[in-house]
Amino acid sequence: MGKNDYIEIDIRELLIVLLKRWYLIVICFILATGSSFAITKFYLKPVYRAQTTLFLGKESDKVASLSIADIQVNNQLVADYRELLKSNLVAESIEKKLGVKPAKFKSSVNVQTVKDSRIFSISYSDTDPKLAADVVNELALVIKQLATDVIRVKNVSIIDVAKVPERPVGPSAKKNVAIAGIIGLALAAGLIYILEIMDYTFKKPEDIERLMELTVIGAVPKFEGGKRGKSKESSESEQDYLKNLITKNDPKAPASEAFREIRTNLHFKSLDKELKTIVITSPSMGDGKTVTAVNMAVTLAKSGNKVLLIDSDLRKPKVHLYFGIRNEKGLTNIIRGDIDDVDMYILELRDISNLNIITSGPIPPNPAEILSSNRMQSLLENLKKDYDYILLDTPPVGQVTDAAILAGIADGTIMVCACSQTRIDMAKRAKKALESVGSNILGTVLTKLDIGRARYYSYNYEYK
């Protein structure tokens, strides 16, 4: 375990984790209590306890002279009788007369005394109530005989003869169900803990700062967008992509405010060093890098900056889908030199001023070679003159080299991670890949944030 890989316990977060997986608690509780009730009622046999009461007095010829010393001796005799009742001699006698096995007899017989008195009781528990009464009554006779034969006294009198018990003393369904319920809750808590340990992903911004040693420049909460990643680009799936442009569709949403926070943090990042070309990548697919790129572009453009968004993902381009535009020609055509006028491939959006887009164009057989070419570097240098920000959406840096190539020549890189989705080991590998090319990592953006778990990053206010 590294110096930063310590475990920080937050009681509030533990409660949130338990509530998040409440269904496991309910399932374990119901299974435990239900099984306990069924076993108690239909599998375990009822146990009956028979009891006889005896009195330890004084021999008849010495009754007149009973003293405290005699009482103390009698108390000691009770202890002796207890041991005698559990001896092999008595166990074998009971086995011969009633057929009870010695081991079963010793575990079921019990001798109790009444404090500060000479009264003691013998009890025996069994699933057969008549046998329990027979064993106890036989023990009463045996103890009287042992008192005469072994201890040489005749001072044991039977007060109550054991009767056949009518009601069982166990097992108690309420007690068993209660214990099973507690065990079920404990098992549920243990299972949830194991699942959390196995879930080696980021849960909140502090995890990234602690484990990655990177600044979180933005935390985007979950928002109601369309489904993405469909293989067929039907009209229905195109509409789903359009729903994810939250900064345009719902500027007052908490997620839109989160993207404005990213814009503000980028402004402060550029005070010491000019940041015009920014690569946006992620450790793995589905982390939300393209959603972050398109919404950042809209937010920057709305603040008056002239922004160019380039779809540099030449493997699975998606930028055009979020704006509902065609992707017939684009970056691939520019690098291949199909036409000298680059402006022909720069698309202007009518409904979003200050934002231009270069789509990916046809998917080439050699994306890495195209992005690492001199033409690509020259293109970026020329475009810097006309734009305040150039955002490059790239493939996941943890899976292909394309993003690392552009990160090495861009002014800065933003790595996008998804809450409860991006694996920490993948993120560390992605960071290492970016550092190996000398990339200026500006920080990370945590998407799909569960606001309930990250109390410092909630946006609950509204604009009037």
Nearest-angstrom CA–CA distance, 43 and 334:
79
* CA distances (Å), origin 157, targets 52, 116, 145, 391: 11, 18, 11, 101
Which tokens in the block code for residue 393?
């959406």
Nearest-angstrom CA–CA distance, 365 and 454:
43
Between vectors from CA 345 to CA 277 and to CA 340, what angle results, nearest 5°? Answer: 95
What averages of pLDDT result for each successive group of 10 residues across the chain (464 residues)? 50 75 90 92 91 74 49 64 82 90 90 76 91 91 79 77 90 91 92 81 88 92 67 56 88 92 89 88 92 95 94 93 90 86 83 92 91 92 92 92 92 94 92 93 91 50 38
Q: What is the per-residue pLDDT for 359?
A: 94
Q: Which residues contact 436 (CB under 8 A, 6 or more apart)?
A: 404
For residue 221, whether the previous peptide bond is cis, meaning omega lies within 30 degrees of 0, is no
Q: What is the per-residue pLDDT for 10?
A: 63
Q: What is the per-residue pLDDT for 183?
A: 95
Q: What is the per-residue pLDDT for 379?
A: 92
Q: Are 77 and 118 in contact (CB under 8 A)?
A: no
Q: Are 464 and 437 in contact (CB under 8 A)?
A: no
* DSSP one-letter code for 452: T
* DSSP one-letter code for 356: E
Q: What is the per-residue pLDDT for 431?
A: 94
Q: Are 277 and 387 in contact (CB under 8 A)?
A: no
Q: Are 139 and 105 in contact (CB under 8 A)?
A: no
The residue to which tokens 């057969």 are assigned: 128
CA neighbours within 13 Å on the CB side: how many for 422? 39
Q: Are 418 and 291 in contact (CB under 8 A)?
A: no
Nearest-angstrom CA–CA distance, 335 and 332:
5
Task: Give the CA diameter of the chain.
Answer: 133
The residue to which tokens 């949830």 are assigned: 192
Q: What length is written for the chain?
A: 464
Nearest-angstrom CA–CA distance, 333 and 383:
16
Instruction: From 324, 322, 320, select the one nearest 332 (Cα to Cα).
Output: 320
Nearest-angstrom CA–CA distance, 258 and 220:
5
Q: Are 412 and 381 in contact (CB under 8 A)?
A: no
The DSSP secondary structure of 3-31, one letter per residue, reads TT------HHHHHHHHHHTHHHHHHHHHH
Between vectors from CA 152 to CA 149 and to CA 155, what angle results, nearest 5°? Answer: 105
At 270 the three-state DSSP class reads coil
Strand partners, 201: 423
* CA distances (Å), origin 114, targets 57, 108, 122, 138, 210: 14, 20, 12, 21, 65
Reported pTM: 0.67
